[in-house]
Structures are given as structure tokens and as C-alpha cells.
């Protein structure tokens, strides 16, 4: 549904177009051959799709280590300056170095937590019989890198009919610079176009459209409407990670027991 105007009252930043609403026909037929990862699980009751807030992991860990080294070096540099505060230039160098040390340490903590504390997967489950969607989300806050409350996994439940899929187009840091199209899901108040929540769904528009079409077909017709997936489901919790430090340290996916049972069962 490539409309000229946004469907929602407050569309996603850099909105490009809307995808069909939950109970409308999909905009395209999903192609199993082009999907990077097939569904984590599918049966008559629920469908679980893989999802991640970060497209690439492992670089921020080393950036954090570099920032920690910079902060430590700057700290010892301040000690040498304190012992020789005899001129305005020494005082200016002291405050400059102190600022650099604080910013480096702050950034190092943020990059480390962002890359290491995010779970190995942030799946989303579609329960066809309950008409509910269960989301496993990692939250982070760059302004509060030391907070325990602002960081961590939260699980949320929404009505299937209240979801809206949007494609956004932004320029971002790629290998040579370029356009990035992402897909996000918005949650609206029942019977309105007022957004009450929004979260990331896919890093690329093609993949996001196919995943959304898969969810629509499953919720509308059942697992028999889905294509045959060539690749086996990926076991995110038990995958063998060798050189990627971030993925080695990342926590495994662990749903709350009551929500895990509810999301996988019939009403």
C-alpha cells in the first residue's frame, strides 16, 4: 500500500510509505530464497520471526576498548598536569584533558553495553489463535549509560489488528555512504490512527516487506499459506560464535515463563 500520504497521524521519522494493514492482502508474495533467516519457529498456533536492533555487531566492543584506553591515558595525563599547574595554558590543558577523559569513558560504557548486553535475538511472536503479538525488545539509553532501569530486555504484548508497518528512508553510514530503508511497526489505539508505541522490525525494506507478508499470511490463513523455507531455523541461543566478542558475551533469549507459555498456546 504505497500511499502518497501517511496513514498514521504521527508517521515514523523519514516515512516513505505504508505497508498493508494486518487483515489486508500482502503487498508481495514472500520469497523464501531471498530471506537471510527463515522463521525461528512456525506451527498451527504461533509464528516466531527473528529480529535485531543492530544489523552488525562486534565493532562497538573494540571501539569501547579504544575509548577506555583513551580515557585512562587522559586520566594519567591529568595527574601530570596537576603537579605542574603554573600557567593558564596548563590550566586549559587540564580542563581539556579532563573533558576528553570523561567523554571517552562515557562513550566507552555506552558502546560496550550496546554491543554486549543486547540479546542474541529479539524475536517477535505472532499467535494466530489469540490474535496477539509478543515482542522481545532490548532498550538502551545513550544519555544514561550507567542506568540499570533504562537498559535491558522488556517483553510487550499487542493486538494483531493494532499493528501498522511503515517503511522509512534515511541516509546512513554504509560502506560508501548511501540510502538505508528500514521497516518499523507502530501500535495504534484501537479504531484510530494515533500511535502509542513504535519499534524496529527489519533493517532492509525488502526483508521487512517479506517478513510482514509472512506474518499476514500466517495470521490470516495459517502455516499452510507460507512458502517452503530452504534454510533450517537458526538456533540463536546455541550458535557457535568464535571471533565475534559481542555475540559471545551477548545474553541468550529467555522469555518470562508466563508469557512464553501464553505466546505458544491456544486461548
Sequence ranges of the domains in the chain = 15-56+120-237+250-261, 60-116
Nearest Cα to Cα of residue 41 among 239, 229, 251, 261: 229
Residue 178: CB atoms within 10 Å: 9
Task: Report the SS3 class of residue 223.
Answer: helix
Distance (Å, rounded) from C-alpha 154 to C-alpha 157?
10
Residues of the chain short of pLDDT 70, as ranges, are 1-3, 80-94, 171-178, 242
Kindly state the cell numbers that stand for 236. 540463536
Say which residues have a Cβ less than 8 Å from residue 167's Cβ, sequence separation at least 6: 15, 16, 17, 18, 19, 181, 182, 183, 205, 208, 209
Which string of DSSP letters, residue by residue, matches 163-205?
Answer: EEEEEEEEEE--SS-EEEEEEEEEEE-TTS--EEEEEEEESSH
Task: Report the SS3 class of residue 43.
Answer: coil
Nearest Cα to Cα of residue 179 among 198, 204, 199, 206: 204
At residue 246, the pLDDT reads 82
Kindly state the cell numbers that stand for 109. 560504557
Query: Tens digit of pLDDT for each residue in 83-138?
Result: 665 555 566 666 777 788 888 889 899 999 988 999 999 999 999 999 999 999 99
Query: How far from each other are the two terminal CA atoms of the chain, in whole angstroms?
Result: 32
At residue 90, the pLDDT reads 62
Read off the DSSP letter of residue 142.
Answer: T
Distance (Å, rounded) from C-alpha 42 to C-alpha 235?
14
Cα atoms in the Cβ-side hemisphere of radius 13 Å centred on 96: 7
At residue 249, the pLDDT reads 85
Write out 230-243 in H/E/C secondary structure: CCCCCCCCCCCCCC
Distance (Å, rounded) from C-alpha 231 to C-alpha 192?
39
At residue 175, the pLDDT reads 45
At residue 25, the pLDDT reads 94
Amino acid at each position: 500500500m504505497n500511499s502518497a500520504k501517511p496513514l498514521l497521524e504521527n508517521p515514523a521519522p523519514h516515512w516513505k510509505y505504508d505497508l498493508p494493514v494486518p487483515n489486508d492482502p500482502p503487498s508481495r508474495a514472500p520469497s523464501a530464497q531471498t530471506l537471510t533467516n527463515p522463521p525461528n519457529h512456525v506451527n498451527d498456533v504461533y509464528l516466531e520471526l527473528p529480529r535485531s536492533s543492530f544489523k552488525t555487531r562486534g565493532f562497538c566492543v573494540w571501539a569501547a576498548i579504544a575509548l577506555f584506553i583513551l580515557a585512562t591515558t587522559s586520566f594519567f595525563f591529568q595527574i601530570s598536569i596537576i603537579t605542574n599547574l603554573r600557567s593558564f595554558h596548563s590550566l586549559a590543558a587540564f580542563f581539556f584533558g579532563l573533558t576528553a577523559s570523561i567523554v571517552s569513558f562515557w562513550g566507552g560504557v555506552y558502546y560496550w553495553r550496546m554491543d554486549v548486553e543486547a540479546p542474541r535475538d529479539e524475536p517477535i511472536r505472532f499467535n494466530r489463535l489469540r490474535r496477539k503479538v509478543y515482542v522481545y525488545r532490548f532498550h538502551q539509553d545513550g544519555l544514561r549509560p550507567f542506568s540499570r532501569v533504562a537498559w535491558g530486555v522488556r517483553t510487550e504484548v499487542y493486538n494483531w489488528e493494532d499493528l501498522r508497518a511503515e517503511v522509512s528512508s534515511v541516509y546512513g553510514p554504509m560502506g560508501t555512504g548511501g540510502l538505508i530503508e528500514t521497516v518499523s511497526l507502530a501500535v495504534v489505539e484501537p479504531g484510530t490512527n494515533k500511535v502509542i508505541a513504535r519499534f524496529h522490525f527489519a533493517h532492509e525494506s525488502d526483508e521487512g516487506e517479506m517478513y510482514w507478508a509472512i506474518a499476514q499470511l500466517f495470521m490470516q490463513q495459517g502455516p499452510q499459506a507460507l512458502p517452503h523455507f530452504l534454510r533450517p531455523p537458526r538456533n540463536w541461543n546455541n550458535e557457535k560464535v568464535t571471533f565475534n566478542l559481542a555475540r559471545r558475551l551477548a545474553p541468550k533469549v529467555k522469555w518470562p515463563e508466563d508469557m512464553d507459555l501464553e505466546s505458544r498456546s491456544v486461548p
